[in-house]
Structure 1
Amino acid sequence: MIGRIPITDISPVVDCGQWPAKAVAGETFQVSATVFREGHDSVAAGVVLTAPDGQRGRLRPMRELAPGTDRWGVDVSLPAEGDWLFRVEAWSDPIHTWLHDAEIKIPRGMDVDLMCEEGARLFERAAKAVRTADCANGTPKHGKDGNNGANGQKNNGNGESTCGHRAALLSVAATLRDENLDPRARLSIAQLPETAALLEAHPFRELVTRSKSHKIRVDRRRALYGSWYEFFPRSEGAIVSDQGISKSGNFQTAAKRLPAIAKMGFDVVYLPPVHPIGTTFRKGRNNTLSPEPDDPGSPWAIGSEDGGHDAVHPDLGTIEDFDEFVAHTRELGMEVALDLALQCSPDHPWVKEHPEWFTIRADGSIAYAENPPKKYQDIYPINFDKDPEGIYTEVRRVVRHWMDHGVRIFRVDNPHTKPVGFWERLLADIHTTDPDVIFLSEAFTRPAMLRTLAKIGFHQSYTYYTWKNSKHDVESYLAELSHETSAYLRPNLFVNTPDILHEFLQHGGIPAFKIRAVLAALTSPTWGVYSGYELGENIPVRPGSEEYLDSEKYQYKPRDWITAEREGRSLAPFITHLNLFRRAHPALQELRNLRFHRVDQPDIVCFSKRLPGAYDTATRRHGMGDVVLAVVNLDPHHTHEATVDLDLPALGLDWGAEFVVDDELSGESYRWRQSNYVRLDPHIQPAHILTVRAAPR
């Protein structure tokens, strides 16, 4: 049943509260609700937060987000990890109702004494609600009308006690009754900002209505913010001779690559599967069915006589070598993310030990993986309906095995091909004992599945970003990720993967690589790069395909990083610049603050991210804070000119303000206003990456 003061459409709430909304410690997000009542009397609203330890916080006042919308909201930042609760409270605001009428009547000489007396009585009641007990110990006391005296605080942050608040409210009442004063002067004390601040600190509430509580799961910061780098350990230090004789790299040779990855500013090192690889139906170079003797096979064809998902490929070293690799990664300030691919080669121990876990075809053979017209003869998918408990127990054991070896991030391969309930159970199980463990969903699939996997517990999700390249697609999709789905889906914008080389990169040259990196790194708090991106690798296996020629999935691919950088052919300095810029600007480490601005040309987009500064109680505004503004040419082939029309309040500025922007890429500074001319040559500088500051007087 609806409450006395209706509270509807509460946000963030995921599927009517079936799953918790998501945040990370220190992240700013908005709690909002629609609040209204019958007639013309004023209403107000606030939020009460309950910490994971059960400690209830003070009432945080909400504000109507736009006049006449009945939509109320407040920005919230939760300081600690764990499962928090919030509820919205709404109430009738009799003082605001009185003030609205008094401001109309008293200046016109209508019912002056009566209006002043009614106001005085309301302020006396408000003072009475600030109970004497609060003056003694500052604890919140709730009366029958739901008034929350000091909101759990002994003072208001300026050293003024609740007793002082009570006296100030009584002083307003006395002034309203002072017939020696001009009526406008009597009214003016109720209109003072100081009086408004008093009532905000100690709202006088009638007909208090409370929503039910909703859960917010607060994760560690890496669940929201980070830069990922994917590479194959077997390629680092690999030897490929002209005679076609190959030798694998290993964890020790791969560890030599880690300092360069750290220098580029990456936070997470993502490894494809490191397990033994089967030989039956092993794929050769470029996905052929006839491998050469030295072809290593696909890392996703997991399992051989050397072991399965809990083993390390002998060519890479031992489990002790893996442990040293993980430790070295940590020493450099990064984390290891390990691929979790729940599938088997025909040689996996599970095939012999648990044949009931697989699908048997009419001819008696085990069904291999297919996504017609693609065929993966070297992989057997698991049938999760055959022995759900047995499969679940084994997968949980495998995950915890790698957790015991220092892995706290898992990138899950194709989770959309497994039952959603399986993932919900597994992620809840791991979260119960190890809430710091993060799971990334690699689900390039239908939106309903992608979104539901995020709702049921995956901390991050791959997205459709790779295929969003036009202005309309970029703006609409990134706006969706940063607002519509942001309560539960955290995007990880990979610019490429071993499976996906988009035609934009195939045909756009180095400008295309820069454009996609700028968009991913600056619009999302988490983005990712697959090794070779910094070299501009862009040759498909055939026209119209998104597969790489000589794909690293099927062969060793050693790269000469040092020569490429020395000859200026590497994008490593550009990527480093982006990652260090992200670290320096907290506005870029948030998801929900992305805002697009109008540009009068179809090939240029402009967006901003802002983390507001401290709140000024006098002006009732936040300071400008950290503001980053980007203008990007989406055409990698041609120069474009445009006029950018900025929403200045979204940048924390007044309409008509002049300000200075400093270009991170060129080092130049410009004096800008609301409308500004830009010209971007993709071969010289495809984007302006700007920080915003007040113009000197």
Structure 2
Amino acid sequence: MDNMEAKLVEKSTFLWTYPEREVIKHVSGDKVIFQCKLADELEHDKLIVEVWTDITGRYHGHEMHLKDGVYQYEIKCNNTGFFKATFRWRHNEHNYWHWLYGPDEKDFAEIHVDPAYIDESIVYNAFIRFFGQRKIGKSGKPKFGHSGTFDDLKYRLDNLKKMGVKILYLNPIHPIGELYRNYNPHDQFPAYMQPGSPYSIRDYKAIDPESAIDRDHSQGPHASLSDPMKEFKELIKEAHKRGIKVYMDLVFNHTSHDFVLQRLHPEWFLYKEDIKSLKAPYIYPEDLKKGKPWGDARFTMCPFDHGYWWEDAAQLNWNYRIPDGENAAPKNPTIKEMYTYFKSIPKYWIKHMGIDGFRCDVAYRVPLDFWRECIYESREFAKKEHPKNGSITGDVVFIAESYVDDIRELLEAGFTAVYGDFSNKLYTVETLKGYLDYMYNISGKFFPENSRFFIFPECHDFIRNTKKLLGQLSHDQVLSERANKSRWVITATVPGIPMIFNGFEKLEWQPINLFSYSSIDWESDRDLKKYIIKVNTIRNKHKALQKGKYVYVNTNQGITSTSQLFTFLRILEEEGKKREIILVCVNMDIYNKANMVQIYLNEDSGIDFSKKYVLNDLLNNKKYVREGKEISIILEPGESHIFQVIQ
């Protein structure tokens, strides 16, 4: 190495690179363009510059080409999984490579490649107990022993397919713990008749028998003799036949107090004499000599999160984010064994049922290094088990519940998507725009590039959309239709993975009865299914709504709590194809007409304003010829335009 070269290496020959030492997200079929710029003083005509990556299956150096002062190389992501990349260069007369950070993998950038279907998918969340619950008799009340089952869901799979659903997500379907089981004191059933929360899990590798009653007698005439695992397998098989993937819920922050392994592994839990106290001291194993109840399931501490106690659950001791106590909590001496057990759970369902993905409850309270291991191992395991396990693609996806905690860290740990507080931002244009600017890295660099979000107007954790927006008027059918129509158009057309919750299409307004039985009135004339089918068909047909760039469009109403129109563009430019532009206008005001509201397009829209253009409303097939940057919009309360811009 000559003196000039040595000095340049010392001052850093790499001026910038893409990607840097960070995580970027892609899906299979995407092209990754690697770029780097080196110091001008180098003899570029004598340099060999490579991107060093395993994205093609094994580590290999790919020679980059100099264009406009920047070295570039393009690789198509044909495989899903986790890959790494860095840069290196050498003089063509020397064998010594100069690395960006060094040849150690821990310093490389990470590239996470997820299955392409995730951008194209609409999710339906079925809470089995409520989805199939039947109202019996003139009273309209549920009858004992008539909880919703897998067969009820199987019966409605064709309806879900018509709605454009490609992923079926199930809340927990496992046996529920009995110790400190929670109940609804205002329920029509007494406490001892209520099943409790499915998030208080007694056995992760078993099925709740109530969900698996053989209602269609596929296993013979005696429903009581049915095998719960066979019933679940039948549901998955029928869903897969229709091209619908099935996701399960993983609840790893806590178990039920009487968890099946609690006696065998008491050290996996935390113990206090007051199990709902942040001040009470932790009990240690050696305190047994003093008569303290370490290891007693009745004294397993409850989880405490965001100001709430979950008294029907027992906090697992992950040696991570432990709730406060008068003293320090004891360390879990068999944490590695606990990691191994919990990593085995998704593998179990992948192997035996061909499960396609997992939504991970309270993911931010479980160690990130556990998630990295669990996700990586599960994805590799799923590829090996496919197709003998009956899965559709051999890929498995993990989605994290997060709200506001550790979103970036969870995405970097390997989650395909996270979900936060989108549902609670659907009140006004002001709150929604601010949140989307945050989600999409518009107002700052908060998340890895191309991060994905799981979005929905309502779920089991939040009040119903109609109740949220209408309060005491949530029973009003006209207003409920406006509320759900407007919020579904937004959810289905902004970037993200949109989800329909259990009964949203039936304008359900009663709160989710997490601890007892409830039902959906499928025969009610309160029904948005046809409208949702229309919106979902538009989304499934137009790739710009699946993966196009999001650009907010300003109006003369400004961005305030009283603004009516939420307006934005989705723009997709693909090599060799004509640019696709979709303009979405939603009147978020469900009481008042938006009359002659001006929207202001600009050069970011991709429209050539020197020419006329056509706005083709995909919701009603009406066409409007326009010119210029300003457009006047008229929309009835809660209504929308989804314009395809044709030029």
TM-score (ref. length: structure 1): 0.69
Note the C-alpha offset of 1:285: 3.1
Alpha-carbon separation, structure 1, partners of 2:457 and 2:590 = 15
**Which residue of 1 is the match for residue 544 of structure 2?**
587
Note the C-alpha offset of 1:53: 3.0
Note the C-alpha offset of 1:411: 0.5
Note the C-alpha offset of 1:144: 5.4
**Which residue of 2 is the match for residue 300 of structure 1?**
199
Confirm whether residue 314 of structure 1 aligns to residue 314 of structure 2.
no
Amino acid at match of 2:144: S
Confirm whether residue 515 of structure 1 aligns to residue 469 of structure 2.
no
SS of structure 2 residue aligned to 1:316: helix
**Which residue of 2 is the match for residue 465 of structure 1?**
422
Note the C-alpha offset of 1:78: 3.1
Alpha-carbon separation, structure 1, partners of 2:175 and 2:496 = 34
Query: 1:440 is matched with which residue: 399, 413, 420?
Result: 399
Q: Deviations over 1:535-555 (max 9, x none)?
A: 22234xxxxxxxx2xx23223
Structure 1's 57 and 46: CA in aligned 2 closer, same or farther, altered over 3 A?
closer
CA RMSD of aligned residues (A): 3.6
Alpha-carbon separation, structure 1, partners of 2:436 and 2:51 = 31
Question: Once structures 1 and 2 are overlaid, which stretch shifts more, 259-268 or 510-519?
Answer: 510-519
Q: Report if the CA contact (8 A) 2:256-2:313 is conserved.
A: yes
Q: Report if the CA contact (8 A) 2:129-2:148 is conserved.
A: yes
**Which residue of 1 is the match for residue 265 of structure 2?**
354
Q: Report if the CA contact (8 A) 2:48-2:63 is conserved.
A: no
SS of structure 2 residue aligned to 1:393: helix
Structure 1's 613 and 224: CA in aligned 2 closer, same or farther, altered over 3 A?
closer
**Which residue of 2 is the match for residue 628 of structure 1?**
582
Confirm whether residue 383 of structure 1 aligns to residue 340 of structure 2.
no
SS of structure 1 residue aligned to 2:370: helix
SS of structure 2 residue aligned to 1:324: helix
Amino acid at match of 1:559: I
Q: Deviations over 1:116-158 (max 9, x none)?
A: xxxxxxxxxxxxxxxxxxxxxxxxxx96599xxxxxxxxxxxx
Q: Deviations over 1:507-558 (max 9, x none)?
A: 473323222212221112411121121122234xxxxxxxx2xx23223333
Q: Deviations over 1:259-315 (max 9, x none)?
A: 111110011111111111122222223787994343221111111xxxx11000111
- Give matches, 1:346-495, under 5 Å: 346-362=257-273, 364=293, 365-371=299-305, 374-385=308-319, 386=332, 387-404=334-351, 405-434=353-382, 436-446=395-405, 449-469=406-426, 470-483=428-441, 484=445, 485-487=447-449, 489-495=451-457
Note the C-alpha offset of 1:613: 4.5
**Which residue of 2 is the match for residue 576 of structure 1?**
533
Structure 1's 367 and 637: CA in aligned 2 closer, same or farther, altered over 3 A?
same
**Which residue of 1 is the match for residue 598 of structure 2?**
643
Q: Report if the CA contact (8 A) 2:32-2:77 is conserved.
A: no
**Which residue of 1 is the match for residue 621 of structure 2?**
667
Q: Deviations over 1:59-90 (max 9, x none)?
A: 467679xxxxxx99999753443455556799
SS of structure 2 residue aligned to 1:337: strand
Structure 1's 634 and 260: CA in aligned 2 closer, same or farther, altered over 3 A?
same
Structure 1's 398 and 659: CA in aligned 2 closer, same or farther, altered over 3 A?
same
Question: Once structures 1 and 2 are overlaid, which stretch shifts more, 244-253 or 210-219?
Answer: 210-219
Alpha-carbon separation, structure 1, partners of 2:41 and 2:587 = 51
Alpha-carbon separation, structure 2, partners of 1:2 and 1:531 = 62
**Which residue of 1 is the match for residue 286 of structure 2?**
none
Alpha-carbon separation, structure 2, partners of 1:451 and 1:440 = 13
SS of structure 2 residue aligned to 1:284: coil
SS of structure 2 residue aligned to 1:352: coil
Amino acid at match of 1:582: R
Query: 1:246 is matched with which residue: 137, 140, 144?
Result: 144
Structure 1's 468 and 588: CA in aligned 2 closer, same or farther, altered over 3 A?
same
Amino acid at match of 1:459: T
Alpha-carbon separation, structure 1, partners of 2:588 and 2:92 = 60
- Give matches, 1:165-244, under 5 Å: 214-241=109-136, 242=139
**Which residue of 2 is the match for residue 132 of structure 1?**
none
Confirm whether residue 259 of structure 1 aligns to residue 158 of structure 2.
yes
- How many pairs are equivalent? 541
Structure 1 regions of 5+ residues with no counterpart? 65-70, 92-141, 147-207, 540-547, 616-622
Note the C-alpha offset of 1:52: 1.9
SS of structure 2 residue aligned to 1:412: strand
Q: Report if the CA contact (8 A) 1:234-1:316 is conserved.
A: yes
Q: Report if the CA contact (8 A) 1:643-1:675 is conserved.
A: no
Query: 1:557 is matched with which residue: 496, 510, 518?
Result: 518
Structure 1's 609 and 47: CA in aligned 2 closer, same or farther, altered over 3 A?
farther
Alpha-carbon separation, structure 2, partners of 1:492 and 1:45 = 43
Q: Report if the CA contact (8 A) 1:431-1:437 is conserved.
A: yes
Q: Report if the CA contact (8 A) 1:605-1:633 is conserved.
A: yes
SS of structure 2 residue aligned to 1:285: coil
Q: Report if the CA contact (8 A) 2:81-2:379 is conserved.
A: no
Alpha-carbon separation, structure 2, partners of 1:58 and 1:665 = 49
Alpha-carbon separation, structure 1, partners of 2:486 and 2:142 = 37
Amino acid at match of 1:534: E
Note the C-alpha offset of 1:321: 0.9
Amino acid at match of 1:357: W
Note the C-alpha offset of 1:585: 1.1
Q: Report if the CA contact (8 A) 1:52-1:82 is conserved.
A: no
Higher Rg of the two aligned structures: 1
Alpha-carbon separation, structure 2, partners of 1:61 and 1:557 = 64
Note the C-alpha offset of 1:571: 1.5
Structure 1's 282 and 90: CA in aligned 2 closer, same or farther, altered over 3 A?
same
Between Structure 1 and Structure 2, the one with more helix by share is 1
Q: Deviations over 1:369-405 (max 9, x none)?
A: 3347533221112111323112112112222111112
TM-score (ref. length: structure 2): 0.74
Alpha-carbon separation, structure 1, partners of 2:419 and 2:607 = 35
Structure 1's 552 and 73: CA in aligned 2 closer, same or farther, altered over 3 A?
farther
Alpha-carbon separation, structure 2, partners of 1:281 and 1:500 = 23
Question: Once structures 1 and 2 are overlaid, which stretch shifts more, 72-81 or 490-499?
Answer: 72-81
Note the C-alpha offset of 1:34: 7.1
Structure 1's 298 and 504: CA in aligned 2 closer, same or farther, altered over 3 A?
closer
Alpha-carbon separation, structure 1, partners of 2:435 and 2:8 = 35
Alpha-carbon separation, structure 2, partners of 1:350 and 1:584 = 48
Amino acid at match of 1:440: I
Structure 1's 29 and 521: CA in aligned 2 closer, same or farther, altered over 3 A?
farther
**Which residue of 2 is the match for residue 620 of structure 1?**
none
Structure 1's 86 and 594: CA in aligned 2 closer, same or farther, altered over 3 A?
farther
Note the C-alpha offset of 1:323: 0.8
Q: Deviations over 1:395-430 (max 9, x none)?
A: 122221111121120000101122222212222322
Structure 1's 355 and 240: CA in aligned 2 closer, same or farther, altered over 3 A?
farther
Note the C-alpha offset of 1:350: 2.0
Alpha-carbon separation, structure 1, partners of 2:482 and 2:57 = 51
Note the C-alpha offset of 1:5: 9.1
Structure 1's 400 and 633: CA in aligned 2 closer, same or farther, altered over 3 A?
same
Q: Report if the CA contact (8 A) 1:45-1:72 is conserved.
A: no
**Which residue of 2 is the match for residue 53 of structure 1?**
57
